[in-house]
Amino acid sequence: MSDRPAAGTWEPEPAARWEDAFLSGNGRHGAMVTGDPRDDRVIVTHHTLLRPNGSEHARPPELAHRLAELQDRLLAGDTAAAEDFTDGRELSWVQPFHPAFQLRLRRPPAEQHGYRRSVDFTSGVVTAGCGEWRSSVFVSRADDVIVQRVTAPGPELRLGLDHRLPGAPPDLAVGQGTALTAEGALLTLSARYPDSERGYTGVSVVAVDGGRTALSPEGACIRDAESVLLLTRVRRHTGEPDAPAEGEALRALLTAGDGDPYDALLDRHLALHRTAYLRAGLSLDADDAERALPGSALLTRPTSPALLERLFAAGRYHLLSSSGMLPPRLTGLWTGDWNTAWSGGFTADANLPLQTASAVAAALPEVTEAQAALIHRRLDHWRENARAIFGARGVVAPCHSDGESGHSHHFQREYPLHLWTAGADWLLTPLVQHDETSGRRDPRTAAALAEVARFYEDFLTRTDRDGRLVVVPSYSPENRPANASWGTVDAAMDLSAARHALRTAADYHPEAAARLRALADRLPPHRINADGALAEWARPGLEDSYDHRHLSHLYGVWPLDEITPYDTPDLAAAAREALRRRGAENDSAHGHLHQALVAARLDDRARVAHALGQVLAGDYFHASLMSAHYPHRDVYNADAAHALPAVVVEALVRSTPGRLVLLPALPAGYPGGRLHGIRTRFGAEVDLTWSPGHARAVVRPTRSCRVDLRTSAGARPLDLVAGEDCVLDLGPQQPQHFPPPMEGTPWHHTSSAGSPPR
């Protein structure tokens, strides 16, 4: 065994399915690489590629004038009152995300001895090779271009841009062109959507070293070249594209650096990608023989530490690669099919928050900034949602977005998502945690929090007989009480979100703090039901429905810190019982990992192990190590791939602005390892190593503070001094629930300065 896991994955065969294609991306462009020596296909995607379906014109329903009547009916006990709180429109999904085209490179059949296809997570480069032939593809973060170099392409290489991918509209208006240039060739493909002026254009500049280039039916034919370099971009546009100008911009990149153009492009890209990827990582005590296996073979060993190690690395890689101008979609940044499930959009009531859950702790501020972009670009739409539906100032986030629209217009009887008011708080929570980690408050986050608070000030006007505020209407995604309809009163998630949003806004805005905190304090407490479980609806009389994939009611446990085993032990016990009773419903991967995240916050390592094991053994991962929504690789979906690193981090290192918890929920089966580069919300970096008989943490604070330190040995205050490494020898780790804080707990503690911290 070694402590250096391979930072990538590989396969001994080309990808026969687009789902198994290796992935590269820069948060704008995406590339899916199949690596077939005879017919090498690179599917090109871009975050902005959305097929118009009418929803681009949709606005939130004008329902504010009916709100008071709905509230009266719900408070009077009409459990189905919200079912007609619509404007009668049919269900409208957001615009579907789709691929642009595939870049195809065809060669005559040849011997394929020694074939290997791989992706290097540290560089983002996907390679395939056999014999002398080799193809390398990456998507540049520095120059926003897809780069492919082919060496030893053989006696003949035919190139073309091909829009014919599964589900492509038959009436998609497509035009193609090829021109010979001094470098080699220029390929263009322009597509216009049916019944629309909108479209997109792809441009590939082909630079040839040696050989001859000619036009061909596919596009271009290159003979006897030593190597070929292709630079590809795609742009969405309205009206006619300016393909020649885009070609000139790509040709300029060929001379933008000294020496070999490919090397210059790669160096500029690595300065951004490698720096980000290497900030954090996981190494487990894994067998080197298993580490050497292809990904598809390793996936057949669900209990192998080498598998968790590789999936952690792949998850961080794919999350970084799909985040830039926007955060990851339901499919990340990739799809090979125009018929993406749920439109391939952004779903805020679980999926997107789960995917980005590791961004702050696992040191990927690029992801947090991408989520901030999604929010801040569409606050005007969020304001319209608040006004139209609730007659309120401030903002309400939609559950579904395509990245272009932030309007709320998704209604089905069982999914009245326009009633959901907790989305803005959930989407803003990583931004708040980023501010806590950095020690600097982003004025954009402060402004957005103020708008969320304004909404609650206008919306929270109804009270119960005890004078407490009532959240009405209320919705617990995507569940319903056993004895009522979906739209109801006082969902636990809505209560937690309202309290958190008001108190967080108060922290950012001291001038309004007293007013906002007073409003938060008037909300009702959580309810514990007759089973001893935290109720999904705090309203008495509403009965729980346990078998559901979502855990919306445990929002106060994760991602918030409202309910913890240390500060609110009774509520934590009720949350633990609610989690114990929760079913898996349809075995959605996000449901299992959501359970694991909540269990980690409750120090329940057995349930973390069970939920994680369900995903590792459930055939959820393609050979690409991108995941599926359901078992048996059904429905391409990034939830599991991107959320899995968050589960590992939460099980090993957890922090709040005033607390550090080490090894709270380490699953059995991983007796030794190292997690490094984890960021805490009190401004420190943590490296953790553990083995069966010992554990050690190095805490590197960037600001001085006192925190409550928790391990299985107990609890004690820990004083940290900015710039002084703090080394903690933790001793053997035993599973247990932690007692309340106690002064004077025996502890071995040193600092790099050679004296105890002040």
Residues near 754 by Cβ (< 8 Å), separated by ≥ 6?
Answer: none
Are 31 and 189 spatial neighbours (Cβ–Cβ below 8 Å)? no
72-73-74 Cα angle (round to 5): 95
Are 147 and 262 spatial neighbours (Cβ–Cβ below 8 Å)? yes
Give DSSP secondary structure letters for 198-232: EEEEEEEEEEEESSEEEE-SSSEEEES-SEEEEEE
Residue 128 three-state SS: strand
- Please report which confidence band the pLDDT of residue 4 belongs to, taking 50, 70 and 90 as the band edges: low
* More confident of the two residues 740 and 652: 652
Are 102 and 43 spatial neighbours (Cβ–Cβ below 8 Å)? yes
Residues near 11 by Cβ (< 8 Å), separated by ≥ 6?
Answer: 20, 22, 116, 117, 118, 294, 295, 296, 623
Q: Check pLDDT > 70 for residue 746.
A: no
Which tokens hold the place of 157? Answer: 């290489």
Q: Check pLDDT > 80 for residue 736.
A: no
Tally Cβ neighbours within 10 Å of residue 263: 12
The predicted model gives 188-194 an average pLDDT of: 96
Count helices and strands (H / E) in the chain.
17, 32
Q: How confident is the model over 529-575, as pLDDT tens digits? A: 999 999 999 999 999 999 999 999 999 999 999 999 999 999 999 99
Q: How confident is the model over 53-75, as pLDDT tens digits? A: 999 999 999 999 999 999 999 99
- Please report which confidence band the pLDDT of residue 481 belongs to, taking 50, 70 and 90 as the band edges: very high
Average pLDDT over the chain reads 94
Q: Check pLDDT > 70 for residue 743.
A: no
Distance separating alpha carbons of residues 437 and 680, to the nearest angstrom: 6
Distance separating alpha carbons of residues 585 and 549, to the nearest angstrom: 5
Are 590 and 354 spatial neighbours (Cβ–Cβ below 8 Å)? yes
Q: Check pLDDT > 60 for residue 735.
A: no
Q: Which of 195, 196, 201, 190 has the alpha carbon at shortest distance from 236?
A: 201
Angle between helices 492-508 and 423-438 (to 10 degrees): 40
Q: Check pLDDT > 70 for residue 756.
A: no
Distance separating alpha carbons of residues 71 and 65, to the nearest angstrom: 12
pLDDT attached to residue 369: 98
- Please report which confidence band the pLDDT of residue 2 belongs to, taking 50, 70 and 90 as the band edges: low
Q: Check pLDDT > 50 for residue 242.
A: yes
Residue 146 three-state SS: strand
Q: Check pLDDT > 60 for residue 750.
A: no
The gap between the terminal CA atoms of the chain, to the nearest Å, is 40
The predicted model gives 672-680 an average pLDDT of: 98
pLDDT attached to residue 241: 77
- Please report which confidence band the pLDDT of residue 734 belongs to, taking 50, 70 and 90 as the band edges: low
User: What are the start-end ranges of the H helices in 339-460?
Assistant: 351-355, 365-376, 379-390, 423-438, 443-459
Q: How confident is the model over 267-321, as pLDDT tens digits? A: 999 999 999 999 999 999 999 999 999 999 999 999 999 999 999 999 999 999 9
DSSP bridge partners of 184: 207
pLDDT attached to residue 413: 86
DSSP bridge partners of 749: 728
The predicted model gives 429-453 an average pLDDT of: 98
pLDDT attached to residue 713: 84
- Please report which confidence band the pLDDT of residue 733 belongs to, taking 50, 70 and 90 as the band edges: low
153-167, 244-258, 301-315, 491-505, range with the lowest pLDDT = 244-258
Distance separating alpha carbons of residues 431 and 450, to the nearest angstrom: 14
Q: Which of 105, 101, 235 has the alpha carbon at shortest distance from 160?
A: 105
